Amino acid sequence: MGFPLTIMPRVIAPAFSLFALAVAASSTAHASDAHSGVAPAAEALFNIGPLPVTNSMVTSWAVAIVLIVAIRLAIRTPKLVPTRGQAVVESLVQGIFDLIKPIVGNKAARAAFPLLVGLFTYILIQNWSGLMPGVGTVMVKEGEGWAELIRPGNADMNGTVALALVATACWGYFILRYAGPRAVLFDWFGNKADKRDLPAPIYYFLMVIFLGVGVIEVISIIFRPVSLSFRLFGNVFGGENLIHAMSGLFKWGLPIPFYFLEILIGLVQALVFTLLVSVYIGLICNHGDEHHEDGAPAGHGPEAATHH
């Protein structure tokens, strides 16, 4: 039996990152001609006014342009009998929608879908952009030295933090729009116990417990952008250094297995990021979707609590 989807990334990601760093350190110590690896920070290629444009930004723009152009060319004018390109895009869209709808819930699924499919596709292509020919080998003159022209956008902490902040801001909009402030506050701090089933002292004691749990929940929510951005950055940055190290040890043949590993890790990380954002939205918005035929809501909620 394979790993569950929620456990597999937790097992693969730390092991992969530690392995990548260990190999990079070993190759630096024992191979004098090994590649120096990926710089921890993206390198500025030029400036637009006071704003530097880094090699990661150039890659991100290129990926965005390629995605827009490729999808437009694939779909063109949508037809009732889809062309091959339209069928591919529709299969991708429908597959992701079917994946996230049970997680996000019926109320917010269609509104959240553009964000989620965009995150998955963009992160996936960004992760795989490090495998393109020219990454780490095409250099441009920068001051006294040379800088890489192409660097994967997700190998730059600025890029992953931006993705996490955008996802968090959209999460806040969706839960307020499709659940409402009252449901959000009840989900975080409300007493989920039924007052009719418990003695009053225990019920009010549980109110204090749930209030404390709500404070912990808010703290965990504040740290969600940190975990999202560091997880994605660590895996992509570690993978880039791993491939650089293997190429430095022996350029022919040795890096090939690690390219396949990077393809798998890139797919897993794009899927994990998207599913985590889906789960965050669904934790609050996916309440009360199951209704009895008479319209009465099933399960707990702020409305149910008022009836108690």
Note whether residue 224 is domain-resident.
yes
Average pLDDT, the chain: 77
- Residue pLDDT, tens place only, 150-165: 777 888 888 899 999 9
79 or 173: which carries more pLDDT confidence? 173
Looking at the chain, the whole-number percentage of residues with pLDDT higher than 70 is 75
- Residue pLDDT, tens place only, 208-262: 999 999 999 999 999 999 999 999 998 888 888 888 788 777 777 777 888 888 8
Note whether residue 2 is domain-resident.
no
Note whether residue 300 is domain-resident.
yes
Note whether residue 163 is domain-resident.
yes
* Owning domain of residue 283: 10-287+295-307
State the angle between helix axes of 55-75 and 84-104 in degrees (0 to 180), rounded to the nearest 10.
110
CA angle 259, 159, 173 (to 5 degrees): 120
Number of domains in the chain: 1
- Residue pLDDT, tens place only, 66-77: 888 988 888 888
Given this model, what pLDDT does residue 144 score?
63
The pLDDT of 116-140, averaged and rounded, is: 80
C-alpha distances in angstroms, 144 versus 136, 141, 147? 18, 8, 10
Whether this model's pTM surpasses 0.85: no
The pLDDT of 185-211, averaged and rounded, is: 86
Note whether residue 238 is domain-resident.
yes
41/242 Cα distance (integer angstroms) = 17
121 or 25: which carries more pLDDT confidence? 121
Note whether residue 35 is domain-resident.
yes
Note whether residue 1 is domain-resident.
no
Burial of 24 (0-12, 13-18, 19+ CB in 10 A): buried
Note whether residue 3 is domain-resident.
no
130/153 Cα distance (integer angstroms) = 9
State the angle between helix axes of 256-285 and 224-249 in degrees (0 to 180), rounded to the nearest 10.
170
